[in-house]
Structure 1
């Protein structure tokens, strides 16, 4: 019944229909359908209504008709239309409601329920991606106003971010979310091209000199990543997560804010991601999409991933995941490791910056 409740839309039944079906199942003497047991129940209309907490008989009969129409129930009528059981020696003949269609379609119901769960997962993931893209657009609008003030594109970005935030308050369909994602991707790419300029070259993530330059830039920054200011870069033998000095002040986690670490630095420190994800990663929502893509292959459960997103924010959780992928062979239990980092993040004792710095320092020393 749990699977049928999840897949009720695929069979054209409602919760009230399933309530009546549950009431009929309560008249079945066995613990489960199947085997050699007779799967016909023969309660009277009055008994069914009493079992359903006084549901009107006309309403109950209407729900029964829907169950029969959906193929989940069959009527086995007696010559006089009554429901009863008759014995002829060893032979037993029952007239009433046949529950065998429900048993015979158990596998079909399970497949339909799994399809519904997959569709819900796609919807939830797409909604998260659109939400991240909205944040990317808002951040690009602020940054673009600083580097190229007065350009009308930045007002367009802010308006689009506001409209998207308003749309996400409603329950959008998969088609609406897909169309919204396409529009946001086009606008993001256009804004990024305007900011970068036509002569900007893509960063070569395999260039060790470029990585060394980025690493030195981080060391000299005073407001880039609070957790890095006192810890410094990790040496080649350092752990993936660096410990902070006892006197270091730890920022309260703010999952609404994008990470201060540049995205290109994350990609530079985690080149293994390109082996498993071949799409472009120019924005945070694309990194999140890549992390969702590799997460099942790493053996990390959906519950651990969702908890990490709640405590760290989608962007930081994505950084942690791709950093773990870089040293996947050295992590005994990826799911347990992610949960441990999530607990630290919930207590405000974790920053993803040292993980990326440790990976870059390790590659530079190799």
Structure 2
């Protein structure tokens, strides 16, 4: 197969398109696999500015490429018409054309146009491409190591941003507590804190200023307000008062049945207290009495308890392996799941407003569990979920109405995964 990547004369060539064409003509192309490259490109999507319909188009093209074309001298060219892509994505052809252009200008694909503009591939008896015209993903192969480094830097930056946000929230509360407890010693700290939080400075700059303000506020406290440890010097030794009066035999027997023994001997619903504690969801104690209330009377905590009533974090972890691999994070605890929400919403192009609205309506953990389910489904079957953001909002609405059965969806994903592993 020729290694020349031609761009048709009817296209308006930009510097980015020309750069992708040059990458497609490279001879030194590293070996990779289709699955590795597909996962890498999905992780790199936020870095490359690929989201929404463009992400969906990329996913379809990667799925249509052949695994053997990603190795050796092969060229992963996909020949599919704009009309068929428009049908798959339920968008107009003009939208599909713009999405393909974004992929090319992002430097992961290149136009390989025929003289007539048609896209087709001819293969010999061995399956090798003799002539192929369409969308060529050779630039992605050439940029393999560059994309890996970009993904690692993005994930480090995202982790640092989340840590900075947590520091700002934590230290701001601490400064506010100091101001409330010692108004004379920290009377200017509150106004300075408000100025920092209201400024339009970069996140890391604000985090640094809040840390410095917290240290300065604590250091300015008068010594008499600083907590100190009491010494045990001079304490006298006393003998504990032990009641030596014997108790009746029946009362002694009753006292030997400790509360822990009772919980083990009489488990609720056939389960031990240890199992029940392991399955307890965040915030379940506060809203347990509100679960049975009507939809109009329930708050986000009550809805969260209802959605996660029969869902454990272990089930979410088992049902969503692709989502965890995509963001390089493990759902091994509820706090880890909650922290992954921001990254997951970027993977499907969900807006910040849509994500904040979902959390406000059903709680952080329920919203993240729903989002992880949507991401997992969209990865496994992108043709089934053409608009992941809309699918997420629909599941939030069903949760509010009390009609969402998240447990069934997660068990379905887990069973599908284990069934595929056994084959």
Q: TM-score, normalised by structure 1?
A: 0.46
Q: TM-score, normalised by structure 2?
A: 0.41
